[in-house]
Structure 1
Amino acid sequence: MKQSHYNKKLRHFAKKLRNDSTDGEIILWKKVLRARQMYGYQFNRQFPVENYIVDFICRKLRIVIEVDGYSHQFKIEEDKERDKRLLEIGYQTIRIQEYDIKTDLKNVIIAIESLVLDQEKDLGFKQ
Protein backbone atom coordinates (compact mmCIF):
# COMPACT_ATOMS: atom_id res chain seq x y z
CA MET A 1 0.00 0.00 0.00
CA LYS A 2 1.26 3.44 -0.73
CA GLN A 3 2.26 5.07 2.52
CA SER A 4 0.13 8.11 1.73
CA HIS A 5 -3.09 6.06 2.09
CA TYR A 6 -2.29 4.91 5.63
CA ASN A 7 -3.59 7.45 8.13
CA LYS A 8 -1.64 7.15 11.37
CA LYS A 9 -3.78 9.88 12.94
CA LEU A 10 -6.61 7.33 13.10
CA ARG A 11 -4.45 4.60 14.65
CA HIS A 12 -5.78 5.14 18.20
CA PHE A 13 -9.40 5.08 17.02
CA ALA A 14 -8.73 1.93 14.96
CA LYS A 15 -7.33 0.21 18.06
CA LYS A 16 -10.48 1.14 19.98
CA LEU A 17 -12.63 -0.33 17.21
CA ARG A 18 -10.58 -3.55 17.30
CA ASN A 19 -11.35 -3.82 20.99
CA ASP A 20 -15.08 -3.19 20.36
CA SER A 21 -15.54 -5.55 17.40
CA THR A 22 -19.00 -6.81 16.50
CA ASP A 23 -19.85 -10.50 16.76
CA GLY A 24 -19.70 -10.83 12.99
CA GLU A 25 -16.27 -9.21 12.81
CA ILE A 26 -14.97 -11.52 15.54
CA ILE A 27 -16.29 -14.64 13.77
CA LEU A 28 -14.85 -13.56 10.42
CA TRP A 29 -11.49 -12.72 11.98
CA LYS A 30 -11.11 -15.89 14.06
CA LYS A 31 -12.52 -18.42 11.59
CA VAL A 32 -11.55 -16.99 8.20
CA LEU A 33 -9.02 -14.14 8.03
CA ARG A 34 -6.63 -14.32 10.99
CA ALA A 35 -3.16 -15.87 10.75
CA ARG A 36 -3.10 -16.08 6.96
CA GLN A 37 -5.96 -18.60 6.87
CA MET A 38 -7.24 -17.22 3.55
CA TYR A 39 -4.86 -18.70 0.95
CA GLY A 40 -1.87 -17.49 2.97
CA TYR A 41 -2.66 -13.79 2.58
CA GLN A 42 -2.29 -11.38 5.47
CA PHE A 43 -5.38 -9.47 6.49
CA ASN A 44 -5.44 -6.65 9.01
CA ARG A 45 -8.51 -5.58 10.91
CA GLN A 46 -9.73 -2.07 11.67
CA PHE A 47 -7.08 -0.49 9.48
CA PRO A 48 -6.92 3.28 8.78
CA VAL A 49 -6.98 4.15 5.07
CA GLU A 50 -7.19 7.85 4.25
CA ASN A 51 -10.11 9.16 6.34
CA TYR A 52 -11.69 5.73 6.80
CA ILE A 53 -11.13 2.78 9.06
CA VAL A 54 -11.87 -0.37 7.08
CA ASP A 55 -13.02 -3.51 8.86
CA PHE A 56 -10.54 -5.83 7.10
CA ILE A 57 -7.88 -5.24 4.49
CA CYS A 58 -5.48 -7.34 2.46
CA ARG A 59 -2.99 -4.79 1.23
CA LYS A 60 -1.18 -7.17 -1.10
CA LEU A 61 -4.38 -8.08 -2.98
CA ARG A 62 -5.91 -4.62 -2.52
CA ILE A 63 -9.08 -6.01 -0.97
CA VAL A 64 -11.29 -4.38 1.66
CA ILE A 65 -13.94 -6.38 3.49
CA GLU A 66 -16.69 -4.44 5.22
CA VAL A 67 -19.08 -6.08 7.68
CA ASP A 68 -22.43 -4.34 7.50
CA GLY A 69 -24.74 -4.57 10.48
CA TYR A 70 -28.03 -2.88 11.24
CA SER A 71 -26.60 0.67 11.30
CA HIS A 72 -25.51 0.44 7.66
CA GLN A 73 -29.16 0.50 6.56
CA PHE A 74 -28.99 4.21 7.35
CA LYS A 75 -25.61 4.84 5.69
CA ILE A 76 -26.18 3.56 2.16
CA GLU A 77 -25.01 6.73 0.38
CA GLU A 78 -22.08 7.19 2.76
CA ASP A 79 -21.01 3.58 2.13
CA LYS A 80 -21.28 4.08 -1.66
CA GLU A 81 -18.99 7.13 -1.45
CA ARG A 82 -16.54 5.23 0.72
CA ASP A 83 -16.45 2.26 -1.69
CA LYS A 84 -16.02 4.63 -4.64
CA ARG A 85 -13.06 6.36 -2.99
CA LEU A 86 -11.44 3.06 -2.05
CA LEU A 87 -11.80 1.90 -5.65
CA GLU A 88 -10.20 5.16 -6.87
CA ILE A 89 -7.10 4.34 -4.78
CA GLY A 90 -7.09 0.75 -6.01
CA TYR A 91 -9.10 -1.31 -3.51
CA GLN A 92 -11.92 -3.71 -4.33
CA THR A 93 -14.53 -3.69 -1.57
CA ILE A 94 -16.82 -6.53 -0.64
CA ARG A 95 -19.68 -5.82 1.76
CA ILE A 96 -20.94 -8.68 3.86
CA GLN A 97 -24.00 -8.60 6.06
CA GLU A 98 -23.29 -9.45 9.68
CA TYR A 99 -26.41 -11.62 9.67
CA ASP A 100 -24.91 -13.72 6.85
CA ILE A 101 -21.70 -14.25 8.80
CA LYS A 102 -23.70 -15.55 11.74
CA THR A 103 -26.12 -17.72 9.74
CA ASP A 104 -24.35 -18.69 6.49
CA LEU A 105 -20.59 -18.53 7.04
CA LYS A 106 -19.96 -21.18 4.37
CA ASN A 107 -21.28 -18.94 1.58
CA VAL A 108 -19.56 -15.87 3.05
CA ILE A 109 -16.26 -17.77 2.83
CA ILE A 110 -17.03 -18.75 -0.77
CA ALA A 111 -17.65 -15.09 -1.69
CA ILE A 112 -14.39 -13.96 -0.06
CA GLU A 113 -12.44 -16.81 -1.67
CA SER A 114 -13.85 -15.85 -5.06
CA LEU A 115 -12.72 -12.23 -4.65
CA VAL A 116 -9.29 -13.32 -3.40
CA LEU A 117 -8.79 -15.64 -6.37
CA ASP A 118 -10.02 -12.99 -8.84
CA GLN A 119 -7.69 -10.35 -7.40
CA GLU A 120 -4.83 -12.83 -7.32
CA LYS A 121 -5.39 -13.52 -11.01
CA ASP A 122 -5.91 -9.86 -11.95
CA LEU A 123 -2.75 -8.78 -10.13
CA GLY A 124 -0.71 -11.68 -11.52
CA PHE A 125 -0.03 -13.47 -8.23
CA LYS A 126 0.28 -17.22 -7.95
CA GLN A 127 -0.03 -19.06 -4.67
Structure 2
Amino acid sequence: MKDKARDLRRNQTDAEELVWYHLRGRRLAGFKFRRQYPIGPFIVDFVCHEGRLIVELDGGQHSSQVEEDSTRTKYLESRGYRVVRFWNHQVLGELDLVLAVIHEILTSELPSP
Protein backbone atom coordinates (compact mmCIF):
# COMPACT_ATOMS: atom_id res chain seq x y z
CA MET A 1 0.00 0.00 0.00
CA LYS A 2 2.87 2.38 0.82
CA ASP A 3 4.47 1.77 -2.58
CA LYS A 4 1.20 2.54 -4.35
CA ALA A 5 0.80 5.75 -2.30
CA ARG A 6 4.36 6.75 -3.20
CA ASP A 7 3.65 6.15 -6.90
CA LEU A 8 0.48 8.25 -6.69
CA ARG A 9 2.46 11.10 -5.10
CA ARG A 10 4.94 10.97 -7.97
CA ASN A 11 2.21 10.97 -10.63
CA GLN A 12 -0.25 13.62 -9.49
CA THR A 13 -2.87 15.14 -11.74
CA ASP A 14 -2.68 18.86 -12.47
CA ALA A 15 -5.56 19.42 -10.04
CA GLU A 16 -3.82 17.44 -7.29
CA GLU A 17 -0.60 19.40 -7.79
CA LEU A 18 -2.48 22.68 -7.58
CA VAL A 19 -4.34 21.76 -4.39
CA TRP A 20 -1.19 20.33 -2.81
CA TYR A 21 0.67 23.59 -3.47
CA HIS A 22 -1.91 25.40 -1.33
CA LEU A 23 -2.22 22.75 1.42
CA ARG A 24 1.40 21.77 2.02
CA GLY A 25 3.55 23.40 4.67
CA ARG A 26 0.54 24.38 6.78
CA ARG A 27 -0.38 27.07 4.22
CA LEU A 28 -4.11 26.75 4.78
CA ALA A 29 -5.09 28.06 8.23
CA GLY A 30 -2.03 26.39 9.77
CA PHE A 31 -3.38 22.85 9.30
CA LYS A 32 -1.03 20.03 8.34
CA PHE A 33 -2.06 17.89 5.37
CA ARG A 34 -0.64 14.68 3.97
CA ARG A 35 -1.17 13.62 0.37
CA GLN A 36 -1.91 10.19 -1.08
CA TYR A 37 -2.14 8.77 2.42
CA PRO A 38 -3.26 5.21 3.28
CA ILE A 39 -6.21 4.92 5.65
CA GLY A 40 -7.42 1.36 6.10
CA PRO A 41 -7.86 -0.23 2.66
CA PHE A 42 -7.92 3.14 0.88
CA ILE A 43 -5.43 5.78 -0.23
CA VAL A 44 -6.97 9.22 0.18
CA ASP A 45 -5.89 12.21 -1.90
CA PHE A 46 -5.37 14.58 1.05
CA VAL A 47 -5.91 14.18 4.78
CA CYS A 48 -5.71 16.57 7.71
CA HIS A 49 -5.69 14.41 10.84
CA GLU A 50 -5.97 17.39 13.19
CA GLY A 51 -9.08 18.69 11.42
CA ARG A 52 -10.43 15.16 10.77
CA LEU A 53 -10.86 16.10 7.10
CA ILE A 54 -10.26 14.17 3.91
CA VAL A 55 -10.24 15.98 0.57
CA GLU A 56 -10.84 13.84 -2.50
CA LEU A 57 -10.45 15.02 -6.09
CA ASP A 58 -12.46 13.22 -8.73
CA GLY A 59 -11.75 13.08 -12.44
CA GLY A 60 -14.01 11.83 -15.22
CA GLN A 61 -13.47 8.19 -14.24
CA HIS A 62 -15.30 8.75 -10.96
CA SER A 63 -18.67 9.40 -12.57
CA SER A 64 -18.92 5.63 -13.04
CA GLN A 65 -17.69 4.83 -9.52
CA VAL A 66 -20.54 6.26 -7.47
CA GLU A 67 -21.16 3.08 -5.46
CA GLU A 68 -17.45 2.54 -4.76
CA ASP A 69 -17.05 6.19 -3.69
CA SER A 70 -20.06 5.85 -1.38
CA THR A 71 -18.58 2.76 0.29
CA ARG A 72 -15.24 4.53 0.66
CA THR A 73 -16.86 7.65 2.15
CA LYS A 74 -18.90 5.61 4.64
CA TYR A 75 -15.76 3.78 5.77
CA LEU A 76 -13.82 7.02 6.25
CA GLU A 77 -16.71 8.71 8.06
CA SER A 78 -16.99 5.69 10.37
CA ARG A 79 -13.37 6.44 11.32
CA GLY A 80 -14.34 9.97 12.36
CA TYR A 81 -13.32 11.86 9.23
CA ARG A 82 -15.34 14.40 7.29
CA VAL A 83 -15.02 13.83 3.55
CA VAL A 84 -15.32 16.55 0.92
CA ARG A 85 -15.11 15.82 -2.81
CA PHE A 86 -14.35 18.12 -5.70
CA TRP A 87 -14.20 17.50 -9.44
CA ASN A 88 -10.85 18.23 -11.06
CA HIS A 89 -12.51 20.84 -13.28
CA GLN A 90 -13.74 22.66 -10.14
CA VAL A 91 -10.18 22.85 -8.82
CA LEU A 92 -8.81 24.05 -12.14
CA GLY A 93 -11.60 26.59 -12.72
CA GLU A 94 -12.65 27.70 -9.23
CA LEU A 95 -9.62 27.16 -7.01
CA ASP A 96 -10.44 30.06 -4.67
CA LEU A 97 -13.89 28.58 -3.99
CA VAL A 98 -12.46 25.09 -3.42
CA LEU A 99 -9.91 26.43 -0.93
CA ALA A 100 -12.59 28.54 0.79
CA VAL A 101 -14.77 25.45 1.27
CA ILE A 102 -11.85 23.47 2.72
CA HIS A 103 -10.99 26.40 5.02
CA GLU A 104 -14.61 26.72 6.17
CA ILE A 105 -14.83 23.02 7.02
CA LEU A 106 -11.52 23.06 8.89
CA THR A 107 -12.42 26.09 10.97
CA SER A 108 -15.97 24.96 11.74
CA GLU A 109 -16.68 23.01 14.88
CA LEU A 110 -16.10 19.27 14.66
CA PRO A 111 -19.29 17.24 15.06
CA SER A 112 -19.64 15.21 18.25
CA PRO A 113 -18.99 11.48 17.78
Same fold? TM cut 0.5: yes
Q: Classify the secondary structure of the residue corresponding to 1:95.
A: strand
Cα distance between partner residues in 1 of 2:31 and 2:102: 12
1:77-107 CA-partner distances (Å, limit 9, x unpaired): 1001100010001110000110011011111
Read off the aligned partner of 1:78 and give its amino acid letter: E
Task: Say if 2:81 is the partner of 1:91.
Answer: yes
Q: Equivalences for 1:1-127 in 2 at 5 Å?
A: 10-30=1-21, 32-118=22-108, 121-122=109-110
Q: Classify the secondary structure of the residue corresponding to 1:61.
A: coil
Offset of 1:122 from its aligned partner? 2.3
Q: Classify the secondary structure of the residue corresponding to 2:63.
A: helix
Read off the aligned partner of 2:110 and give its amino acid letter: D
Q: Which runs of 5+ in 1 are unaligned?
A: 1-9
1:18-61 CA-partner distances (Å, limit 9, x unpaired): 0011110000001x201101111100000000000000000111
Read off the aligned partner of 1:111 and give its amino acid letter: V
Q: Classify the secondary structure of the residue corresponding to 1:122.
A: coil
Q: Which runs of 5+ in 2 are unaligned?
A: none
Query: Please, what TM-score do these two structures have when normalized by structure 2?
Result: 0.95
Cα distance between partner residues in 1 of 2:65 and 2:35: 21
Query: Please, what TM-score do these two structures have when normalized by structure 1?
Result: 0.85
Read off the aligned partner of 2:10 and give its amino acid letter: N
Read off the aligned partner of 2:86 and give its amino acid letter: I
